[in-house]
Amino acid sequence: MESEIRVRFAPSPTGYLHVGSLRTALYNYLYARKVKGKFILRIEDTDQARYVEGAVENLIETLNQVGLEYDEGPDIGGNYGPYFQSQRTEIYGKYADELIEKDAAYFCFCTSEDLEIMREEQIAKGEDTRYDGRCRKLSKEQVQENLDQGKPYVIRAKIPKEGEIVFFDIVREKVSIMWETVDDQVLIKSDGFPTYHLANVIDDHLMKITHVIRGEEWLSSVPKHLFLYNAFGWKPPKMCHLPLLLNPDKSKLSKRQGDVAVEDFLKKGYLPEALLNFVALLGWHSKSDKELYSLEELEKEFSLKRINKSGSVFDIEKLNWMNGHYLRELESGYVAIKARPFFIKAGFDINDNEKYLKIIEVVRNRISTLSEITKVAAPFYETIKYSEEDKQIINNENSQRLFSFWLKNIQVLDIITEENINRLLKQSTDELGIKGKDLYFPLRLALFGSVHGPELPVIFDVLGKEEVLGRLSKMLD
């Protein structure tokens, strides 16, 4: 019987969740759901210098907001915890000792000054800057003497210096890397904490991870990791390295060219559904040309074999189009819940829930992101300010006759219906001789503050009788 598929998303808590990291999390999640496996969240916090307070909580909150549920993790536990690497340091020390015993690793006593001088010499000679392995040559006696004297040290991997390593990657297929280009990676730092490379391999083995799905930037680290798997005598997981996310100019996606944090997109009013759909297509394509997918549909459709090799451009226009689609198509009540913080921030009174829901129904068709919603909805809530050009239309003799006619006729109505409004529009033409833009522009200006906007019956319905009468009365002052 084949063992259960287990994948992990293993971010470092160094701040916000990058959209590239969201894609990594999403692909891991989708693959686990497709094959009925397990999706694990592990926090790789061994680099204490880069740790950002509150980053873990923010990360978990963001994954919850977009609906990526993991099966094991720091806040929900599981059979293979703890899920914080900083709580697993004793485990790593034991395995580092094993590597020393097997002559797969060695103590390095070089100071930061030694390494800086070495780097400067390599640059001067036009050589690649990497550790030159000088401490590999120390005898057992010299090593013991240094340890007895309490000299600070790190533990490095004893990487082969000749030949090449060939491995298979699900996206890249056959990959070969010359050993001479691989550094003697530090495995245990001088503070006793492991580096990413050692902790990552040990945790993936102990947590029974079957597939490592991560960004392309880790491809060059695979030889170091496979060296460790081999040294321990462990079967390595299958590797899958995702293509880069690119700016429109084909440079690597970075904060310098705009938002890259998932939290920023959510704050700007992008819906989780649109963000996941958009990110899923950055590097993966389905069998069909279909572009709009729910998370459930993606779970059924997703395949690692359909991940692209080349980088994907992050096209904000496409995200805006997709978000606009979801704003129009998702249930109105759901959009209303998502929009609420934007209305509250704008200071609009949305206590009249019936009116609020009507406004959502009207304005969601006219926006791409929720951050635009209050600007479009403002005429329903705020006192309208008019330009000189607007005032000319309002004060026109025909406009004034029109406002008087509508005031008189609206007052006698019990309720305002679409049928009533259409009847009054016809009467305005028949009885007052006013038609076309001379009819529609003044009424829209009076009630909505713009000659363009929703259909008149819609504006009347949202405002209600009392508000309509109030706004028309002001036009006659």
For the domain that residue 124 is a member of, what is the CATH number? 3.40.50.620
- 């977009």: which residue's tokens? 66
What is the mean predicted confidence (pLDDT) over 203-232? 97
pLDDT tens sequence across 88-133: 988 999 999 999 999 999 999 999 999 999 999 999 999 888 999 9
What is the mean predicted confidence (pLDDT) over 253-269? 83
C-alpha–C-alpha distance, residues 56 and 43, integer Å: 8
Whether 75 and 160 map to the same domain: the answer is no
Whether 35 and 65 map to the same domain: the answer is yes
pLDDT tens sequence across 361-409: 999 999 999 999 999 999 999 999 999 999 999 999 999 999 999 999 9
Whether 235 and 92 map to the same domain: the answer is yes
Whether 256 and 233 map to the same domain: the answer is no
Whether 361 and 394 map to the same domain: the answer is no
φ, ψ (nearest 5 deg) of residue 73? 175, 175
The 3-state DSSP class for residue 298 equals: helix
Exposed / middle / buried, residue 339 (Cβ in 10 Å: 0-12, 13-18, 19+): buried
Length of the chain: 477
Residue 150 binned pLDDT confidence (cut-offs 50, 70, 90): very high
C-alpha–C-alpha distance, residues 65 and 75, integer Å: 15
Whether 410 and 336 map to the same domain: the answer is no
Contact 76, 45 (CB under 8 A): no
Whether 108 and 223 map to the same domain: the answer is yes
Q: 193 lies in which domain range? A: 88-242
Number of domains in the chain: 4
Checking if the pLDDT of 1 tops 50, the result is: no
C-alpha–C-alpha distance, residues 252 and 194, integer Å: 29
Whether 199 and 263 map to the same domain: the answer is no
Query: Which residues of 87-210 form beta strands (DSSP E)?
Result: 105-108, 154-157, 164-169, 173-178, 186-188
φ, ψ (nearest 5 deg) of residue 98? -65, -40
The 3-state DSSP class for residue 290 equals: coil
pLDDT for res 48: 74
Contact 328, 255 (CB under 8 A): no
Task: Respond yes or no on whether the N-terminal peptide bond of residue 82 is cis (omega within 30° of 0).
Answer: yes
C-alpha–C-alpha distance, residues 28 and 38, integer Å: 9
The secondary element (H helix, E strand) that includes residue 313 is strand 312-313
Checking if the pLDDT of 179 tops 90, the result is: yes
Query: Which one of the listed residues 151, 255, 437, 474 is annotated catalytic?
Result: 255
Is 189 designated active site?
no
Output the pTM of the full model: 0.93
Whether 95 and 201 map to the same domain: the answer is yes
pLDDT tens sequence across 410-448: 999 998 999 999 999 999 999 999 999 999 999 999 999
Of residues 333, 324, 375, the one with CA closest to residue 357: 333
Whether 441 and 336 map to the same domain: the answer is no
Residue 50 binned pLDDT confidence (cut-offs 50, 70, 90): confident
Checking if the pLDDT of 200 tops 90, the result is: yes
Contact 170, 307 (CB under 8 A): yes
